[in-house]
């Protein structure tokens, strides 16, 4: 049985709720009170993840932290199509991993700005927002060309990969950190595309689109 | 820069408005929600729902409507009217409830918007910059810099081409258009840019170029690289007008108040009442009387084929009649009234009592039976159903769109408006047919329809049912079949009419059943400010001198209601026979 | 700016009691003024202006919340007798900051028509979208407004809900930035649970929503009650962040209400009649 240590308002946890729903995986959720209780910094939780971060996944005793790492594990283990994480093709794999690392950068910028604005985390929000804008410019360009040359997903090919899942939540929630997507039309169209994938589910702050 | 200068600007490449997407744009500080309906119409609206000002770009393009995310309110493509309020799903939204729309058009692969064009019809005729894009449409790029700074920067575009022959670069700027050309060993490179002033500190660069020795994908990337590099240079310059992408936008979105129609506007909507004079009446067919109604001096109405009016009959009822008018007939109204024997006498009173020179109160035109723009169709009319169908056929013929009009009547004597029918090339008359023959004709008519075509039918219920059933059986999508049913029953007449006296002038008039006091006042030239039209917001409040108001609002408190010194005319009425107003 | 008396001489929340630790000082803003606040080592709540003057602010701890005032409020504090009932669970569900005027947060709290679209599957769902008429009443003596007799179909009204119910609500506004929602308590249907929304205006376009739950519930953990409430608030957050303008327009022609908005129209009228300007939209 898969157990997800989860917080509803966390975009990183949402990456896994979303992906597991798309894969049709059963799992149980253990809610961790990230706010205001800071339960992710409790002794019990630190024993599970010494970095004190969510999400954490436990698959029958195999424990992983880090949303991107967990996505790659779930894809490699459970995705029979091999599309989501193309371990069989070195170039495609490299490309997906490059954008998974990029997603981590989005967490460090867009998500940081959101934590500052929403939960009053003390950090340099202006710097975080400027950083998010630079990343979104790069992603918007990637997606604009992908719309023309491929199928409009972040990486090459006809099928979305876990790179798309990893980048989606904090792009979608960027307004909550004071980052508008008005300058990134290709990014906005890509979010519609993700919302139309079979098995798509929302989280607070994300809404469905028309089919 | 004038806030709403009379200029057309590109706001997006046409292919950016993808299927069922809501594009977020910006022009002169006004945020725009740009979306395309499934049948291709481009909408440019202020990015703000009139209900609680939540951005439309958070909402959903359903293909026909834009649905706001907050409360699910739906606004239709074209005029932006609100068509559904889910919290009150059985009630038609007030006709004043409308998205703030701007004139938009799609030309040569770009969407252009004109913020100053209040009247969309006239906007269409305003001069659009004549421009020809070059063959390759480039990726549009947002610069965080003012328009002039960007224009100055673009002059150096050729510097990014290592193959450019020095001294050959030519730049020509014409306001927001910039033309560049330079020589390379393989020939001349040309680029044409249009600048979109998103706001004071942000400019979007739309461009096109010639293809010279490069395939399209390669050329797109090459130009994108040049422009991106140039942007780094422009944005990093020490200039008070240039900004890096940073935390706060330099300016908050500029807001344009949602314009509400008031009595002073000549823009009449479906809830306004008009006093017409009967200019002509004639027998246009067996049992059908034609009436030509003159509008008050200088009035001119705007409506589309398929529209109808509420007519206040001489015996105090309200009945709907469709307008027969051709597209160029807008200074008078033409209706056809069939004498209905088995009814409450509304049509009989029109036939028997209404004479030339009499006044007749009608509503402004409303329309639930519009033509789909830019496509032809098959139109089917049965009996008095010819009235809207005739207007629609005439409109299609004027527009040069293909159509066929099939008009079914009981006999030749029942054919109405023969003079107008004579001008219609696409007319096929079917008189005196039995049921089977009618069905065969309908089948024949439907088979002629193209894959894009639409079907419009008006007439007795059995004819409408027949057409719908036959269309469905040959696989025509129900979204392509449009009908209007003439109901002989009217909406509720449970209201009591009452008299109103205006204290200042002594004028007295009757407010009939089914007409709100606010509308009646407006019809008599009294300016009444309205907004919600549901008795919630308090805008229309007026003072009462005498009489017993029947309060139907939720705005006034108990004391105010019991004082009987004020009321909300948009919904409230009178318990007493006479109400004297402080107006 | 000169802030009107109706807003200046009021109490504003800065923290829910359990969110502070004794002996720590924090910085926040109220009505655009920075203040430092906290509980000293003995547990006394104190606050003062952070402008260098050290001038103390009036303070009060009530309803599980620490309040400050920059002005001279009178002695009347609104009554919430549920807080005195011994069997109540009283907890904050997490105070969150929002980039919008506090007045819009209150108005969103008073609205049911958005349930099927924003809180889909929880507080509402299609096709149960119609808002049945309810009664707006003005308690003149206390100058508070109520929406009584509100009903709405809710697929999952609370953390403990197992099926959809027709929820019965009462909304109450006691101060411009304070509102309480009462709903039937599932374990004891003759009593009501209360959700208190105490809004702290940081400035005209930013606020912190302090939410205090006053429930009859012996089974659900604090964590689960909080997570459910935060989920709901998180859904509103994206909407609240996207109002243009962020401040609340009081002109009824700027934003058009419907019959379902009777309470919010009454709230705007009440604000206008009280002379509230802070946090409202004024066209340039």
Whether residue B95 has pLDDT greater than 80? no
DSSP A110: I
Which of B387, B386, B314, B308 minimizes the C-alpha distance to B347? B314
Range of the domain at A23: 2-78
φ and ψ at residue A31, rounded to 5 degrees: -75, 130
Which of C80, C149, C130, C114 minimizes the C-alpha distance to C243? C114
A152 half-sphere exposure, CB direction, 13 A CA radius: 15
Structure tokens belonging to residue C138:
């003005």
Would you state the pLDDT for residue B364?
81
Residues B292, B270: Cα–Cα separation, whole Å: 20
Each residue of A124-174: pLDDT tens digit? 999 999 999 999 999 999 999 999 999 999 999 999 999 999 999 999 999
3-state secondary structure of A157: coil
Chain A residues near residue B137 by CB distance under 8 angstroms: none
* Position with higher pLDDT, B321 vs B118: B321
HEC profile of B28-49: CCEEEEEEECCCCCEEEEECCC
Residue B185: count of CB within 10 angstroms of its CB:
8
Give CA C242 to chain center in angstroms: 19
Tell me which residues of chain B have a C-beta less than 8 Å from any C-beta of chain A.
12, 16, 18, 20-21, 23-26, 31, 58, 60-63, 69, 139, 142, 202, 217, 220-221, 224, 228, 244-249
Same domain, A60 and A115: no
Is the residue at A181 inside a domain?
Answer: yes
**What domains lie within chain C, and their CATH numbers?**
81-274 (3.90.380.10)
Pairing of the two strands C45-49 and C33-39: antiparallel
Chain A residues near residue B220 by CB distance under 8 angstroms: 145, 148
Same domain, A187 and A150: yes
Band of pLDDT at residue B361, cut at 50, 70 and 90: confident
Beta bridge partners of C168: C151
C24 near B CB under 8 A: no
Which residue in chain B is spatially nearest to A193 when comparing CA positions? B21
Which residue in chain A is spatially nearest to C121 when comparing CA positions? A202
Is the residue at A85 inside a domain?
Answer: no
Each residue of B255-273: pLDDT tens digit? 766 544 333 333 444 446 7
- CATH number (3.30.530.20, 3.40.50.300, 3.30.1130.10, 1.10.1200.10) of B136-236 reads 3.30.530.20
A204 near C CB under 8 A: yes
Chain B residues near residue C244 by CB distance under 8 angstroms: 31, 47-48, 53-55, 252-253, 255
- Determine whether the interchain pair A31/C224 forms a contact, defined as Cβ–Cβ distance below 8 Å: yes
Residue B432: count of CB within 10 angstroms of its CB:
11
Chain A residues near residue C120 by CB distance under 8 angstroms: 202
Residues A17, A22: Cα–Cα separation, whole Å: 9
Using a 10 angstrom Cβ sphere, with 0-12 exposed, 13-18 middle and 19 or more buried, the burial of residue B286 is: middle
Beta bridge partners of B579: B500
Residues B304, B78: Cα–Cα separation, whole Å: 12
Chain C interface, best mutation among B32, B49, B71, by max C CB count within 10 A: B71
Band of pLDDT at residue B509, cut at 50, 70 and 90: confident
Would you state the pLDDT for residue C252?
83
Would you state the pLDDT for residue B270?
45
Which of B376, B378, B387 minimizes the C-alpha distance to B442? B378
Chain A residues near residue C237 by CB distance under 8 angstroms: 118, 176, 204-205
Which of A119, B229, A167 minimizes the C-alpha distance to C98? A119
Residue B111: count of CB within 10 angstroms of its CB:
25
Chain A residues near residue B139 by CB distance under 8 angstroms: 141, 144-145
Tell me which residues of chain A have a C-beta less than 8 Å from any C-beta of chain B.
125-126, 129-130, 133-134, 137, 141, 144-145, 148-149, 178, 180-183, 185, 188-189, 192, 207-211
3-state secondary structure of A15: helix
- Determine whether the interchain pair C227/A178 forms a contact, defined as Cβ–Cβ distance below 8 Å: no
Chain B residues near residue A183 by CB distance under 8 angstroms: 142, 202, 245
Mean pLDDT, all residues of chain B: 86
CA distance A130 to chain B (A): 4
Report which secondary-structure segment, H or E, holds B67: strand B65-67
- Determine whether the interchain pair C223/A118 forms a contact, defined as Cβ–Cβ distance below 8 Å: no
C260 near B CB under 8 A: yes
Which of B534, B523, B539 minimizes the C-alpha distance to B364? B523
Of A118, A178, A204, the CB nearest to C235: A204
Of C130, C255, C262, the CB nearest to B53: C255
Each residue of B175-233: pLDDT tens digit? 889 999 999 999 999 999 999 999 999 999 999 999 988 899 999 999 999 999 999 99
Give CA C261 to chain center in angstroms: 18
Would you state the pLDDT for residue B127?
62
Window 493-532 of B: residues touching C by CB (8 A cutoff) are: 529, 531-532
Which chains share 3+ C-beta pairs under 8 angstroms with C? A, B
Q: What's the average model confidence in pLDDT over B73-93?
A: 91
Are A69 and A15 contacting, i.e. CB atoms less than 8 angstroms apart? no
**CATH domain B9-125 topology:** Rieske Iron-sulfur Protein (2.102.10)
Pairing of the two strands C65-69 and B332-338: unpaired
Which of B361, B366, B367 minimizes the C-alpha distance to B296? B361
Write down the residue that tokens 């867009």 correspond to: A110
Chain C residues near residue B257 by CB distance under 8 angstroms: 253-254, 283
Which residues make Cβ contacts (< 8 Å) with residue B407, sequence separation at least 6? B381, B386, B389, B415, B421, B427, B428, B429, B430
Band of pLDDT at residue B490, cut at 50, 70 and 90: very low
Is the residue at A209 inside a domain?
Answer: no
Residues B137, B151: Cα–Cα separation, whole Å: 19
Residues B469-492 as b or e (16 or more Cβ within 10 Å = b): ebbeeeebeeebbbbbebeeebee
Window 99-128 of C: residues touching B by CB (8 A cutoff) are: 107, 111-114, 116-118, 126
Would you state the pLDDT for residue B267?
40
Are B137 and B154 contacting, i.e. CB atoms less than 8 angstroms apart? no
DSSP C2: P
Question: What would the DSSP string read from start to end of C38-85?
Answer: EE-TT--EEEEETTTT-PBPEEEEETTEEEEESS---S-----GGGG-
Residues C9, C74: Cα–Cα separation, whole Å: 8
Residue extents of the structural domains in chain B: 9-125, 136-236, 273-363, 377-485, 498-581
Would you state the pLDDT for residue C16?
97
Each residue of B553-575: pLDDT tens digit? 989 988 899 889 999 999 999 99
The yes or no reply on domain B498-581 and CATH 3.40.190.10 is no
Q: What is the domain count for chain A?
A: 2
Would you state the pLDDT for residue C67?
97
Would you state the pLDDT for residue A196?
97
Each residue of B3-53: pLDDT tens digit? 445 688 999 999 999 999 999 999 999 999 999 999 899 999 999 999 999
Residue C108: count of CB within 10 angstroms of its CB:
24
Is the residue at A211 inside a domain?
Answer: no
Residue C142: count of CB within 10 angstroms of its CB:
12
Would you state the pLDDT for residue B318?
74
**CATH domain B377-485 topology:** Rossmann fold (3.40.50)
A120 near C CB under 8 A: yes
Which residues make Cβ contacts (< 8 Å) with residue B483, sequence separation at least 6? B369, B456, B457, B458, B464, B467, B468
Which residues make Cβ contacts (< 8 Å) with residue B479, sequence separation at least 6? none
- Determine whether the interchain pair A148/B217 forms a contact, defined as Cβ–Cβ distance below 8 Å: yes
Whether residue A119 has pLDDT greater than 90? yes
Is the residue at A60 inside a domain?
Answer: yes
Chain A residues near residue C205 by CB distance under 8 angstroms: none
- Comparing B235-239, B416-420, B513-517, the range with the smallest average pLDDT is B235-239
Chain A residues near residue C123 by CB distance under 8 angstroms: none
Residues B264, C117: Cα–Cα separation, whole Å: 37
Is the residue at A204 inside a domain?
Answer: no
The yes or no reply on domain B273-363 and CATH 2.60.40.1150 is no
φ and ψ at residue B250, rounded to 5 degrees: -65, -35
Q: What is the ipTM of this complex?
A: 0.96
Structure tokens belonging to residue B51:
């209900």
Would you state the pLDDT for residue B264?
34
Interface contacts (A, C; CB < 8 Å): 59
- Determine whether the interchain pair C227/A31 forms a contact, defined as Cβ–Cβ distance below 8 Å: yes
Of A144, A182, A209, the CB nearest to B60: A209
φ and ψ at residue B228, rounded to 5 degrees: -65, -40
Using a 10 angstrom Cβ sphere, with 0-12 exposed, 13-18 middle and 19 or more buried, the burial of residue B316 is: middle
DSSP B530: -
Which of C92, C283, C262, C69 minimizes the C-alpha distance to C177? C69
* List of E strands, chain A: 2-6, 28-31, 56-59, 62-65
Band of pLDDT at residue B375, cut at 50, 70 and 90: confident
Q: What is the CATH number of the domain that holds A37?
A: 3.40.30.10
Would you state the pLDDT for residue B512?
83
Beta bridge partners of C26: C37
Which of A115, A136, A135 minimizes the C-alpha distance to A125? A115
Band of pLDDT at residue B274, cut at 50, 70 and 90: confident
Q: What is the CATH number of the domain that holds A173?
A: 1.20.1050.10
Same domain, A10 and A43: yes
Is the residue at A84 inside a domain?
Answer: no
Residues C30, C196: Cα–Cα separation, whole Å: 19
Tell me which residues of chain C have a C-beta less than 8 Å from any C-beta of chain A.
18-19, 92, 94-99, 120, 208, 223-224, 226-227, 230-235, 237-238, 241-242
Q: What's the average model confidence in pLDDT over B429-440?
A: 92
Whether residue B423 has pLDDT greater than 60? yes
Chain B residues near residue A211 by CB distance under 8 angstroms: 20
Question: What would the DSSP string read from start to end of B167-204?
Answer: T--EEEEETTEEEEEEEETTEEEEEEEEEEEEETTEEE
Longest CA–CA span in chain A (Å) reads: 50
Same domain, A74 and A94: no
Each residue of A56-102: pLDDT tens digit? 999 999 999 999 999 999 999 999 999 999 999 999 999 999 999 99
What residues of chain C score a pLDDT lower than 50? Answer: none
Overall residue count recorded for chain C in this entry: 284
Query: Percent of chain B scored above 70 by pLDDT?
Result: 88
Write down the residue that tokens 């009967």 correspond to: B278
Of B90, B529, B536, the CB nearest to C257: B536
Same domain, A56 and A152: no
- Determine whether the interchain pair C136/B87 forms a contact, defined as Cβ–Cβ distance below 8 Å: no
Would you state the pLDDT for residue B116?
81
Residue A88: count of CB within 10 angstroms of its CB:
8
Would you state the pLDDT for residue B241?
41
Same domain, A127 and A185: yes
């Amino acid at each position: 049985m898969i157990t997800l240590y989860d917080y509803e308002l966390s975009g990183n946890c949402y990456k896994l709720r979303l992906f597991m729903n798309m894969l049709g995986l059963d799992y149980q959720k253990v809610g961790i009170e990230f706010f205001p209780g800071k339960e992710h910094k409790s002794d019990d939780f630190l024993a599970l993840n010494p970095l004190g971060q969510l999400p954490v996944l436990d698959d029958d005793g195999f424990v992983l932290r880090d949303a991107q790492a967990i996505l790659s594990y779930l894809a490699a283990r459970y995705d029979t199509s091999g599309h989501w994480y193309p371990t069989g093709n070195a170039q495609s794999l490299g490309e997906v991993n490059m954008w998974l690392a990029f997603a981590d950068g989005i967490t460090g910028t867009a998500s940081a700005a959101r934590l500052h604005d929403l939960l009053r985390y003390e950090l340099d929000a202006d710097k975080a927002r400027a950083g998010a804008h630079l990343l979104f410019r790069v992603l918007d360009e990637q997606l604009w060309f992908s719309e023309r040359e491929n199928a409009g997903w972040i990486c090459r090919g006809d099928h979305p990969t876990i790179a798309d899942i990893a980048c989606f939540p904090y792009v979608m929630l960027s307004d909550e950190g004071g980052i508008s997507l008005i300058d990134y039309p290709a990014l906005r169209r890509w979010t519609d595309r993700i919302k139309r994938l079979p098995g798509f589910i929302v989280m607070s702050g994300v809404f469905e689109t028309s089919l | 820069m004038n806030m709403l200068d009379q200029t057309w600007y590109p706001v997006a490449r046409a292919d950016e408005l993808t299927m069922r997407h809501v594009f977020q744009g910006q022009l002169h500080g006004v945020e725009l929600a740009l979306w395309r309906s499934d049948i291709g119409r481009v909408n440019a609206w202020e990015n703000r729902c009139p209900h609680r000002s939540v951005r439309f770009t958070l909402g959903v393009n359903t293909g026909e409507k834009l649905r706001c995310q907050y409360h699910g309110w739906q606004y239709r493509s074209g005029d932006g009217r609100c068509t559904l309020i889910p919290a009150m799903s059985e009630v038609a939204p007030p006709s004043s409830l409308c998205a703030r729309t701007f004139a938009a058009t799609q030309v040569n692969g770009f969407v252009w918007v004109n913020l100053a064009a209040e009247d969309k019809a006239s906007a269409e005729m305003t001069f659009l910059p004549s421009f020809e894009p070059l063959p390759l449409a480039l990726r549009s790029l947002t610069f965080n810099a003012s328009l002039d700074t960007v224009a100055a920067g673009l002059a150096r575009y050729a510097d990014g081409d290592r193959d450019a022959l020095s001294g050959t670069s030519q730049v020509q700027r014409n306001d927001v258009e910039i033309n560049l050309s330079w020589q390379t060993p393989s020939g001349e490179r040309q680029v044409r840019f249009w600048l979109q002033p998103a706001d004071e500190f942000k400019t979007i660069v739309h461009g096109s170029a010639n293809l010279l020795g490069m395939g399209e994908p390669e050329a797109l990337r090459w130009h994108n690289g040049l422009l991106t590099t140039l942007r780094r240079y422009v944005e990093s310059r020490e200039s008070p007008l240039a900004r890096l992408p940073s935390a706060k936008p330099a300016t908050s979105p500029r807001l344009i108040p949602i314009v509400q129609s008031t009595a002073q506007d000549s823009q009449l909507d479906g809830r306004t009442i008009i006093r017409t004079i009967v200019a002509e009446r004639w027998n246009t067919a067996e049992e059908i009387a034609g009436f030509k109604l003159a509008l008050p001096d200088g009035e001119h109405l705007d409506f589309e084929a398929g529209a109808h009016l509420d007519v206040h009959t001489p015996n105090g009822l309200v009945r709907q009649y469709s307008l027969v008018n051709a597209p160029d007939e807008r200074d008078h109204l033409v209706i056809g009234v069939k004498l209905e024997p088995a009814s409450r006498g509304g049509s009989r009173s029109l036939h028997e009592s209404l004479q030339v020179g009499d006044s007749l109160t009608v509503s402004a035109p409303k329309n639930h039976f519009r033509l789909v723009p830019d496509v032809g169709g098959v139109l089917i009319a049965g009996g008095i159903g010819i009235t809207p169908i005739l207007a629609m056929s005439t409109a299609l013929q004027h527009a040069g769109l293909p159509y066929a009009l099939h008009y079914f009547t009981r006999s030749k004597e029942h054919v109405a408006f023969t003079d107008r029918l004579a001008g219609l090339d696409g007319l096929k008359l079917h008189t005196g047919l039995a049921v089977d023959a009618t069905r065969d004709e309908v089948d024949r008519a439907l088979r002629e329809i193209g894959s894009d075509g639409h079907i419009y039918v008006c007439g007795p219920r059995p004819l409408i049912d027949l057409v719908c059933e036959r269309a469905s059986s040959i696989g025509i999508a129900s979204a392509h079949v449009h009908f209007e049913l003439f109901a002989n029953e009217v909406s509720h007449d449970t209201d009591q009419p009452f008299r109103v006296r205006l204290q200042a002038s002594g004028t007295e008039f009757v407010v009939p059943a089914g007409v709100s006091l606010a509308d009646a006042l407006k019809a008599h030239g009294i300016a009444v400010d309205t907004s919600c039209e549901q008795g919630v917001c308090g805008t229309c409040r007026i003072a009462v001198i005498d009489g017993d108001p029947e309060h139907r609002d939720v705005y006034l408190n108990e004391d105010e209601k019991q004082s009987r010194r004020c009321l909300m005319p948009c919904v409230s009425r009178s318990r007493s026979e006479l109400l004297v107003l402080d107006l | 700016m000169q802030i009107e008396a109706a807003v200046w001489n009021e109490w504003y929340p800065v923290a829910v009691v359990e969110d502070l630790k004794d002996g720590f000082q924090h910085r926040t803003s109220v009505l655009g003024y920075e203040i430092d606040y906290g509980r000293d080592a003995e547990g006394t709540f104190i606050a003062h202006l952070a402008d260098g003057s050290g001038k103390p602010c009036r303070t009060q701890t009530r309803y599980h919340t620490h309040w400050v005032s920059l002005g001279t409020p009178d002695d009347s504090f609104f009554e919430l007798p549920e807080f005195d009932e011994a069997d109540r669970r009283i907890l904050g569900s997490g105070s969150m900051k929002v980039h919008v005027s506090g007045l819009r947060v209150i108005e969103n709290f008073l609205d049911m028509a958005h349930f099927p679209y924003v809180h889909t599957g929880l507080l509402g769902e299609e096709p149960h979208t119609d808002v049945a008429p309810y009664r707006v009443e003005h308690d003149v003596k206390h100058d508070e407004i109520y929406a009584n007799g509100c009903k709405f179909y809710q697929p999952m009204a609370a953390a403990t809900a197992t099926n959809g119910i027709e929820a019965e609500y009462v909304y109450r506004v006691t101060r411009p930035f304070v509102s309480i929602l009462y709903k039937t308590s599932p374990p004891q249907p003759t009593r009501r649970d209360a959700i208190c929304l105490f809004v702290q205006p940081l400035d005209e376009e930013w606020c912190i929503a302090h939410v205090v739950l006053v429930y009859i519930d012996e089974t659900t953990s604090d964590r689960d009650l909080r997570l459910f409430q935060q989920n709901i608030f998180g859904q509103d957050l994206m909407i609240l962040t996207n109002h243009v303008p962020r401040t609340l327009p009081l002109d009824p022609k700027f934003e058009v209400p419907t019959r379902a908005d009777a309470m919010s129209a009454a709230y705007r009228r009440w604000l206008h009649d009280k002379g509230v300007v802070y946090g409202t939209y004024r066209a340039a």
